[in-house]
Structure 1
Amino acid sequence: MKINEYLLERGESPVPLNDSSHYRVTSGEIFYDSHFLKQLRLETLRAQRSKSTLSLILLTLDKEADVKSINMNEILGIIREKTRDTDMSGFVNHNAICVLLPDTDEAGAKAICAKLANENSPFSMTTSSYPDHIFESLTKNGYVRPDAFPFELWDSGGLIDASWFKPLLKRGLDVVGSIFGIFIFMPVMLITALAIKVTSPGPVIFSQIRLGKQGTPFTFYKFRSMHVNMDNQIHREYVQDFIKGNHAKVNQGDTEKPLYKIKSDPRITRVGKFIRKTSIDELPQFFNVLKGNMSLVGPRPPLAYEAEKYQAWHLRRILEMKPGITGLWQVEGRSKTEWNDSVRLDIRYIQNWSLLYDLKILLRTVKEVLKCRGAM
């Protein structure tokens, strides 16, 4: 159905043919306002760089509301009259309007929300602040709540409807690749499991809660390389210093050949040292990929206490893309790369990813693993 036909059926004024800032039609449905979402993306990136707070108000039409009697264009006009000149508003879909509030914290967003409030309003309102709500959720819950930001911020593949096949291709590669990996490496995994069981008490598989795309928690698998019931304080302190950029404190190498990894970790078993150096400990993650928690290629999934220490711009590596077993950082940086540079590599991958790019990284990963470069 054409957009103007849809509006006329509802008794609303048609949108001018040259006006693409209101609605975008996809498969017969009123869909996202691409112009508004592009602006949201730009403002989010600006907030990251300037370390300012970005807030939004999401007005969603109540289910009980009489849709045919509501003129969404008229409501959008009223919202624009009641908000500041620097604020931006637009349609998210046929029953939701979003108001974007640059340089505004949660208190400011609630004040504007109060101005928009109306007893007879058919909308429910939600406010959120970036990145405050994300960090608050990480600190309180150990993960990013789904409502920490009301909808997905970025569309790293361009227009949403035009790039639906790209994630599908990536998922296809993940499924085929993980099944192939499980089949090929099954003998190695069985031998590793036996070696771990014989040499140290405890489970063969080490499971841990990590953060996936948009900060969603999932159970992450590795072969156990440490003694059981070990305190993680060593790693917590190291990660905190690493992310803060205390290079002199965390560099386990020298100035010419830096090594950003705990070199002599007393928690690691004898078998653990070998399977870490050869990256065999990562093989169970093929099951994470098969389940859909991870991808073959992507940023590494962080622990919650790591993500708590992030700066706002670091969040892109967990919000925009599914984490991977390997990635651009592993093949270009590995353990010699400083934290900020490793995040830049992840962001570069997110911005440029394609099926061919994934295949190239996978081939380079095989080369790096065979060299045991940067592994400890």
Structure 2
Amino acid sequence: MTVLDTAIDSRTPGYLDSRNATLDRLDRLEAAIEEARCGGGERAVTRHHARGKLLPRERIEMLLDQDVPFLELSPVSGWGTEFPVGAGVVTGIGVVEDVECMLVATDPTVEETAVNPYAVEKIRRAARIAACNRLPLVNLVESAAETASGSPPGGGVARDLSRLSAGRVPTVCVVFGPTSGDVAYLPAFSDYTIMVRGHAKALAAPADQLAEDERDALRLARQCVRRLNWRKSGPPPRTFPPAAPKYDAEDLLALAGPAELFDTREVLARILDGSDFDEFKPAVGTSVLAGWGELHGYPVGVLATADGTQTSADAQKAVHFIQLANATDTSLLLVQRDEAGTFGSGALDALAHSTVPLLALNTGRTGDPRFVFSWPADGPTAGDDDGVIDPRDTRTVLGLCLSAVHSAAVEGAGRVGVFRPGKVDQ
């Protein structure tokens, strides 16, 4: 066991300024999230409730098991664009009848959803996450009545849903009202379709079950998930209960501020179980950090970039580490600061051939990760990853993601990339 030391605390020069900068960014983020929660505005929400209908997050809350977390994905998608914040769609992972599921809930109070490209991308991203992580997909759909005729569906959603069917991942759809655009594909391509009597209309999708009202429909959806007899294919956590990090997550607010305070080891000390990190080849290269740890009991390999130009030693160190993660069926976590550069071509090629689950923090879509999150930055973001998160929530978010990816088998590709031990002093 190698417990990380830490040199960052509230006495560190620049700590308070960096922390305050991050808190300012979080205030702007929270305002955007609140705007998304308001849907189509107070008038539209009041009219919707007056009809005896529930909002998307209310439907999700009623569907989920009691007192379980819901990991919402891309809650501020479309922020800073001409389209509504949140794109009129809520997506995320939650537990239904003890089964981790991907949930998609459209917001009928937002009229532009049928023609909003961010809405389509959120739905497609949710379907892809469900497919690669073997998560049953539950769709809670209704389009705004004013746009019920909508525009012709584009077909991308249909292709993604077809991949779920090909992978034998079950899909459930509850239709609460009219559907339009790409949303119309969700009931049409689902294995189980539940419709609310007298309200639901769907494209070429006969109901498997008719519900008397929305609450009855959600009860039937829970019943449907219970009868899936679904089991995880991946291993459970290796350590339970996991040891908490030895250092305070509050410090991540300062580490997420201006780049001069960012240090990957300091981040890991606040998210890994017991702050325990076994560094791989610490004497080889200075621009790539690699090593092993656990996060909420799940084994994980960490690969991170640092300042400086990557040498051939750094590149081969990264490739060798990716190979070992695949050989030991260990999930990978990529961590970097935006200003710290990117991984070299050798590592990128190895990541392209790697098959173990890949999670990413502040890296963009490097290596096609199962999940990719970022810390708040200056200015609005359109939400082209799975979410901008409070740095203090990093450990919890990554833990929920690791649990989700273990719904599928965790299997490495064996030898990936090109590694020549003779070229590097080990």
| TM-score, length-scaled by structure 1 | 0.26
Structure with greater proportional helix content? 1
